[in-house]
Structure 1
């Protein structure tokens, strides 16, 4: 009797866990890695080229690994020549990320992404900036 009651409780629990896990995996899969750059120890800018074959994007997210840096702004150059300047002004600790950034005009082809930063925070390791796009 106790075994049947346990089975009745376990099956719905497993179904809920499966549904939560599959929705989480589906959400992560929508983010595409567009490129990465290891930054220098100074005030600088770096460019990540994105091609039309990568598709069109609605959102961006930036993540910093390995070290820390001070991000000032991001400039997104679209396929039609338009630019969008995104003021970030954030001190990134290793492993931190931006909020989700909505792109102007919804689904856009991105030509390149330029980010302006400095590393005056005396980080021992050079930070690596990763850019992700969401369709």
Structure 2
């Protein structure tokens, strides 16, 4: 009975995320597993074929992550640092992170975080972009 209820809740959450992303025309850009313990950073590479974006959002799976900052690297060589400084639980998401300027073709995104050293589960970060 508990497993059925947990499955139902999971499906409802995924459906809600999918429909909210579709309504705002968010595009999946890539994902990365959080490998580090303590303070670390990882990178998500994005292909130029994805196009130009005005904002990004990060979704967290498996285990919560405390984000410090995100650095977005653009195809034209410029970069934008975005302070997050927030704990995002598993199943949660960051606020919308607006990108400034023109030519916002994303090359890669570095995210700096603190992971939970006690648990063996590692978080997964999914990156979405809004045109």
TM-score of Structure 1 vs Structure 2, range by shorter chain: 0.7 to 0.9
Counterpart in the other structure of 2:121? 125
Alignment of 1:19-34 (within 5 A): 27-28=23-24, 30-34=25-29
Per-residue deviation, 1:123: 3.6
Q: Which residue among 21, 41, 44 is the counterpart of 2:40?
A: 44
CA distance in 2, matches of 1:25, 1:76: 20
- Give the aligned partner of residue 95 of structure 1: 91
For structure 2, the 5+ residue unaligned runs are 1-18
1:87-110 deviations in whole A, cap 9, x for unaligned? Answer: 101111111111111101156101
Greater shift, 106-115 or 83-92, is seen at 106-115
For residue 3 of structure 2, what is the aligned residue in structure 1?
Answer: none
- TM-score w.r.t. structure 1 length? 0.75
RMSD, aligned CA: 2.0
Q: Which has the larger radius of gyration?
A: 1
Count of matched residue pairs: 112
Q: Does 1:76 align with 2:69?
A: no
What TM-score, normalized to structure 2?
0.77
